[in-house]
A and B are shown apart, each in its own frame.
Chain A
């Protein structure tokens, strides 16, 4: 059974149709790359997958673990195991990373009929995952993303991903604005979470991250449609001849 199955997806914002019929299937344990030039529809695709308000799906279906994703609220999609690392993570003043993660974890547990996570277990988890992404311990008290540099924000995204342990991780243009060291931490974090049951979609403009997170399949998105699909050889093709060839 595929983890994610997108069929005939048309979607847009307001009157503008941006995705014009997308088919995409991801199986367990696979890493897929969705590449495309600016304006191709990459942000729309991730917005539709996460249930961002203001975006409208006009046709097509999305099945996630056999369930109708489009009928699920954003929080329900998270509980089902979907996670997105945002391109521009937002600041949440007054809410600490610790409080944020604890509330997120307990919300998921509540949806499963479980009680709140034990204090000791939570602290252990925080410590383990902060070490995994090389996040300094003092960040636990910081307000979510407030005053963080671009790299620190991206690291925080990967940290949250490690904490929430999703089945399908979507990395939205994660490699823009990162230096090589931060890029490696993001890649290491993603690769550590990649198991035969878990999958990832890397949505990107540049191929740099894909040198570290090697995709099994590459899809080229252009003008709202998937114009090419293949293996890693497509990345080299884009590197040499750009997106115009498709």
Chain B
């Protein structure tokens, strides 16, 4: 399956400028790369979860996350799974008030015998809020990745907007990706959508780049970097983005 559509779709649903510049107050414990001082009200507070424990094929760590997002609150969180990681990542977001905005994103770079599963539950308990999910994955060797994305919209949660996208690129014959979007919508005045793609790196793009003197491996790296770029937009930590680029080169 040609991946042109996946690359065109990946990430166009949320533009960097739109993402939240409010501090999200959350009930759940926070760890990870948040800044030491409490951010000012108008500063963007992007939470990053770096999942990078080296694991053998059978041994999987579990990274359970539960977030409660109340009225007018914002949650902006990006998961980054690096190669050499096997993990189960169940994430639940409970939206309990109107005017809330949730941006849930992730990239997973899987190689060897990595086994990575995301179980997302986006729970719109009340209406008038918006959630966006964007998860892009690259799988090679014998990696197994799964994305289970559930959106639940309660019966009275009118004027909910809930969007989900999961795009995957498979780099080897033995890597597998399972993507399962689920929508349980009980309200009738909502805007919800989901999209999932699984494909390969586009060979016509590679040939075009090679005809300009860009070697095959470098062309693929460019494609992979641009594939994850929409998810990483707005991340300013240069050490982190360099780490991600190196991880991509290692795939």
Please give the residue numbers on chain B whose beta carbons come within 8 Å of chain A beta carbons, in ascending order: 4, 7-8, 203-205, 207-216, 218, 222-223, 225-227, 229-230
Contacts and interface: CB of A to CB of B under 8 A. Distances in A.
Contacts of B226: 92-95
B67 to A, nearest CB: 29
A75 B229 contact: no
B225 A103 contact: no
B213 A104 contact: yes
A108 B181 CA distance: 44
B7 A75 contact: no
**Sorted from nearest, which 5 A-B pairs have the closest CB atoms?**
A94-B226, A78-B213, A74-B210, A104-B212, A75-B210
Interface stretch (A83-91, A173-181, A216-224): A83-91
Classify chain A's interface size.
Answer: 20 to 34
B205 A107 contact: no
A94 B218 CA distance: 15
Contact of B211 (A78, A91, A95): A78
A90 B7 contact: no
B213 A164 contact: yes
8 contacts: A52-B207, A75-B214, A86-B208, A92-B209, A103-B209, A105-B213, A108-B213, A164-B213
A100 B226 CA distance: 12
B8 A160 contact: no
A64 interface: no
Interface in A49-103: 50-53, 73-75, 77-79, 83-84, 86, 89-95, 99-100, 103
B213 A75 contact: yes
Contact of B210 (A73, A83, A91, A95): A73
A90 B204 contact: yes
Given A90-B205, A92-B205, A103 B222 contact: yes
Contact of A92 (B208, B210, B215): B208
A189 B88 CA distance: 56
B7 A103 contact: no
A82 B223 CA distance: 23
A103 to B, nearest CB: 5
Contacts of B207: 52-53, 74
Contacts of A50: 211
B99 to A, nearest CB: 33
Nearest to B210: A74
Contacts of B227: 94
Interface in A190-207: none
A107 B204 CA distance: 19
B140 to A, nearest CB: 19
Nearest to A52: B207
B197 to A, nearest CB: 14
A240 to B, nearest CB: 36
A107 B215 contact: yes
Given A51-B210, A78-B210, A90-B208, 5 more contacts: A74-B211, A100-B222, A108-B213, A160-B212, A164-B213
Nearest to A143: B226
Nearest to B205: A92
B16 to A, nearest CB: 13
A77 B214 CA distance: 11
A3 B189 CA distance: 68
Contact of B213 (A89, A92, A94, A107): A107
Contacts of A100: 209, 212, 214, 222
Contacts of A107: 213-215, 218
Interface-centre pick from A77, A83, A90, A100 (highest chain B CB count, 10 A): A90
A73 B212 contact: no
A198 B209 CA distance: 22
Nearest to B12: A93
A147 B216 CA distance: 25
B205 A75 contact: no
Contacts of A84: 211
Contacts of B222: 92, 95, 99-100, 103
Contacts of A78: 210-213
B211 A94 contact: no
Contacts of A77: 211
